[in-house]
Amino acid sequence: MDVLPTASVGSCMGYACPVCAAEQADAVHLANHLAVTASLGRRDHEDWLTAHAPDWAEYSPAELAELVVEYAEEIDTPDFEDGHGHEYGRPGGLEGELARQTRHPGRGTLTAEAADVLEEARELTRRMHDADEADDDDADTTGDENENA
C-alpha cells in the first residue's frame, strides 16, 4: 500500500477537517484529529468516520489519511515551523489542542466519560512528577546518609 506523503515542516498547505473545519498540517494530522476527536466521544466526528471509513479504528494514521484526505478541502495553513508549538512528527499539547477546539462554535462538549479520562490523565501526570521530585530529594539525602553509615 502506498503511504501518502505528509507535508514537510514549513509547508503552508494543509487540510480542513471535513466535520469541523479545524486546520490540520497534513493528511496524517487530519486522520489523527478525526480519530482522536471521535475517540473522545464527539459523535459528529465518529459518525463521519463510520460513514466514510467504517473500520477507521483498525487503520494506521497513514492508512486512514489515505481514506479521509479525499473528502477534505486543501487549505493554506500557518507555517508550522514558525509557531505550531511542537516539532513535526511529535505530539504537542493534546489537551491544549482539544481545549482550543472546544472553544470554537459547534464543537459541543466533552462527554462525562471523556472528561473523566482527561482528569485521570492529569492526576497520573501530577503523581509522576511528584514521584520524580521525591526520587530526586531521596537521592540528595540518602547519598549523604550512606556515606556516614
Q: Where are the domains of the chain?
A: 13-108, 111-149
pTM of the model: 0.50
Closest CA to 109 of 29, 42, 11: 42
- pLDDT of 32-48, one tens digit each? 999 999 988 899 999 99
Closest CA to 22 of 31, 135, 9: 31
- pLDDT of 43-64, one tens digit each? 999 999 999 999 999 999 999 9
Whole-number pLDDT of residue 74: 92
Q: What are phi and psi of 85, to 5 degrees?
A: 100, -5
